Structure 1
Amino acid sequence: MQQLQEINYQDARVLTTKQLSAAFDTTDKTVTRNFQRNNERYEIGKHYFALTGEDLKQFKATRQDDATLKFVSTLYLWTEHGAWLHAKSLNNDRAWEAYRMLIDNYYSIAKRHSVLRGPDNMGHALSEQVIYQIESRLDALEEQIKQVTLPAREQKRLRNAVGERVYQLTRKEPGARPALFRALHRSIRERYDVESYRDVKRHQLLDALNFVANWGGEAIETRSKANSG
């Protein structure tokens, strides 16, 4: 990884999109696209800063030698938390290794400097560092929990709910059951972007059960594909 030019904003060590994409060996477009796809996970001030107007003008004034900023109308600056989410979006060995190097050689240096400012500030700096580390670990734990899929017992619960709903909808049309089983499983896969109902995330279980309970059968799968042709 090339030596990164240090950028600090609002007492936080940050990276531009170009710096972040270079560190992760990807493109600016990929970083931007991943952010747009998952922007509900990003919190301004925590994961990133978005500079426009006078804030951007002042920032550019401090970096007049950076030609890449000349035509930028909105500048994104990524914190350690934001870099973690980008590494998670890329989710490959190279990205995670780059993230670890950023933590060791870029982001954490700013924290160490804050601790070494002097005895008057040391207690405060240490407290901030501990809080920041705890928050980072909690964020990481929260993201890990969100990726946990259904255990066997809850898979069975969802599978039984599918069966109950299909039987409710086909009391008068039992011949349509195979088509409805396929249709409902397809709807679950599409709704949660998974290959199987087994891959539904555990935190999505209640939503999935509610979805199944209210699934309409899509007009009994268009009258069982027009009575099978």
Structure 2
Amino acid sequence: MEDTQTIKAEQHKIRKLVYEIDHKVEEHITLSSGEQRRVQKGIAQKVYELESNPEFRSKLFRELHREIKDRFGVASYKDIKRKELQSALSYIENWFPRKVS
């Protein structure tokens, strides 16, 4: 009886550790190269959709990249967490440049 309780207590500890490790891993995994490419394509598609003049596109690219970095708290779009990929793609899809007066 005592051995069963000990085994159950050990199993509980192991499950808790596995959960904690899994959570930490999820918090640190960034985009794969394929996912980074999806973000790049989304950015390009949005900028080309908004601006036909090549002279102004570079400004929009810079602005969108800056806002992505601010929104997701990263130094580069490549550092976006994998779990936030869909959120980033949605953000890009719905993004519009700020109006400056």
Could you say whether these structures have the same fold, taking a TM-score greater than 0.5 normalized by the shorter chain as the test?
A: yes
| Equivalent AA in structure 2 for residue 155 of structure 1 | Q
Q: Quote the RMSD (CA, aligned, Å).
A: 1.7
| Equivalent AA in structure 1 for residue 22 of structure 2 | L
Paired residue secondary structure (1:218): coil
Higher relative contact order (CA 8 A, sep 6+): 2
**Unpaired stretches in structure 2, ≥5 consecutive residues:** none
Distance 1:160 1:201 in 2: 17
Structure having the larger proportion of residues in helix:
2
Distance 1:218 1:131 in 2: 52
Determine which structure has more spread, i.e. the larger CA radius of gyration.
1
Distance 1:135 1:169 in 2: 49
| Equivalent AA in structure 1 for residue 18 of structure 2 | R
Name 1:189's counterpart in structure 2. Answer: 69
Structure having the larger proportion of residues in strand:
1
Residue 24 of structure 2 is aligned to residue 152 of structure 1: no
Name 1:176's counterpart in structure 2. Answer: 56
Name 1:164's counterpart in structure 2. Answer: 45
Q: CA deviation at 1:136?
A: 1.5
Paired residue secondary structure (1:194): coil
Paired residue secondary structure (2:98): helix
Name 2:94's counterpart in structure 1. Answer: 214
Paired residue secondary structure (1:217): coil
| Alignment deviations for residues 151-181 of structure 1 (CA, whole Å, 9 cap, x no partner) | 111111101100100111113x543211110
Q: CA deviation at 1:202?
A: 0.9
Name 1:203's counterpart in structure 2. Answer: 83
TM-score by length of 2: 0.87
TM-score by length of 1: 0.41
**Unpaired stretches in structure 1, ≥5 consecutive residues:** 1-119
Distance 1:130 1:140 in 2: 15
Aligned length: 101
The sequence identity of aligned pairs, in percent, is 29
Name 1:68's counterpart in structure 2. Answer: none
Distance 2:46 2:98 in 1: 13
Distance 1:218 1:132 in 2: 51
